[in-house]
């Protein structure tokens, strides 16, 4: 029963978000891509995405630390995170970073204050190595958009 509710809830959220995007862009069918939270996807969600012509996209470089899943208050130093990104990025990489200050009942439970500083280090270094930043549709050579 839990899976049914979870899938129903996910479907409702996907459809509501798609509608918000279409209304704000004034373009029907303008929600083309979906990154499932935590990369979690199943056949039911795949079916919703297929029915709605939305393509799932996953990152290959995640900067949420394993320890962060246990201790959401932990923040990794900028240099350490930047080094991980630079050491692992390859052609076609999708890097996932967050920029948030999430609070629950007034208490900060998730904070990523270093994202801007990380990007200030990583973007020039990757460009120096010859990497080019492109949109998801360009990366996927998606001609339907």
pLDDT for residue 1: 37
Could you tell me which residues are beta bridge partners of residue 111? 101
Q: Is the pLDDT of residue 33 over 50?
A: yes
Q: Within its chain, how far is the Cα of 121 from the centroid?
A: 20
Q: Which tens digit of pLDDT belongs to each residue from 70-88?
A: 444 456 788 988 999 999 9
- CA dist 108 to 23, 46, 117, 119, Å? 32, 33, 20, 23
Q: Which tens digit of pLDDT belongs to each residue from 89-98?
A: 999 999 988 7
Could you tell me which residues are beta bridge partners of residue 108? 103
Q: Is the pLDDT of residue 126 over 90?
A: yes
58 contact partners, CB below 8 Å, separation of at least 6: 35, 36, 39, 94
Query: What CATH fold (topology level) applies to the domain 61-139?
Result: TIM Barrel (3.20.20)
Q: Is the pLDDT of residue 7 over 90?
A: no
Tokens of 62: 């995640």
Return the H-helix or E-strand segment holding 28: none
């Amino acid at each position: 029963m839990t899976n049914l509710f979870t899938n129903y809830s996910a479907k409702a959220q996907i459809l509501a978000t798609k509608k918000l995007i279409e209304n704000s862009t004034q373009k029907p069918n303008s929600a083309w891509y979906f990154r499932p939270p935590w990369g979690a996807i199943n056949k039911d969600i795949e079916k919703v995405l297929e029915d709605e012509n939305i393509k799932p996209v996953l990152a290959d470089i995640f900067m949420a630390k394993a320890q962060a899943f246990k201790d959401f208050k932990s923040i990794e130093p900028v240099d350490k995170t930047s080094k991980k990104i630079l050491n692992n990025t390859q052609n076609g990489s999708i890097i996932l970073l967050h920029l948030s200050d999430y609070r629950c009942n007034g208490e900060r439970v998730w904070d990523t204050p270093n994202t801007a500083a990380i990007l200030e280090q990583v973007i020039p270094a990757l460009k120096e190595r010859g990497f080019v930043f492109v949109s998801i549709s360009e990366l996927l050579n998606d001609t339907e958009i």
